[in-house]
Amino acid sequence: MNELIARAKELAAGPGRSILGIVGAPGAGKSTLATVLADELGPDLAAVVPMDGFHLADEALDRLGRRDRKGAPDTFDVAGYANLLARLRDQRTGIVYAPRFDRTLEEPVAGAISVTADVPLVITEGNYLLLDDGDWPLARASMDEVWYIEIDDDVRRSRLVRRHEMFGKTTVQARMWTDGSDEHNAVLVASTASRADLRVRLPSAD
């Protein structure tokens, strides 16, 4: 972890704004690592802008017939995410507002995150930062580095089941979603690992 913190600090010390991407399968610990890095660097040096804020709303997913695949690549506003990263990359003045995903509501919340122009490092995390189709490469183009997070699959799936239960699913529903939609997405994410600038193996202990 100390090495990762040092590498993040190097990015923050570079000229202008840098964007660090953290990618991995569902439950790999992306948001936890992003938060740890941001806390270690402090609010003057780092801000976190997750990809999850660009989930399509349930109303849109119902209209598109994609509600049962929520979390798949085509259930995000990818172009909106790419455009936001480009704005953050080029930000010189003022404040850029970004959405966040509320797990209690299971909906995105617009304008919930504010990033001031003087913050030198933006950390973004999500499943699909290294996909090479659609508008995903446009998002990747704004990132200076992308780190791929690996963790024991049993630990990862156990985390997902608990997370789903915590936010309202029964144990049966949580296991079905973990073994179904989440696992399908995990396989897709794993296929992109070779494109990362750094691969990080996190401890297996949960």
State pLDDT tens for residues 13-63.
Answer: 989 999 999 999 888 889 999 999 999 999 999 999 999 999 999 999 999
pLDDT value of residue 14: 86
Q: Is residue 112 part of a domain?
A: yes
Whole-number Å distance between alpha carbons of 73 and 69: 9
State pLDDT tens for residues 105-118.
Answer: 889 999 999 999 99
Q: Is residue 73 part of a domain?
A: yes
pLDDT value of residue 49: 98
Instruction: Classify the C-alpha dihedral 53-39-43-149 as positive or negative.
Output: negative
Question: pTM for the full model?
Answer: 0.89
pLDDT at 181 over 80: no
pLDDT at 177 over 70: no
Number of domains the chain is built from: 1
Q: Is residue 205 part of a domain?
A: no
Q: Is residue 140 part of a domain?
A: yes
The answer to whether 140 and 85 have CB atoms below 8 angstroms apart is no
Environment class of 47 (CB within 10 Å of its CB; exposed 0-12, middle 13-18, buried 19+): buried
Q: Please report, for the domain that includes residue 107, its CATH number.
A: 3.40.50.300
Q: Is residue 55 part of a domain?
A: yes
Domain that holds residue 42: 2-200
Q: Is residue 127 part of a domain?
A: yes
Q: Is residue 34 part of a domain?
A: yes
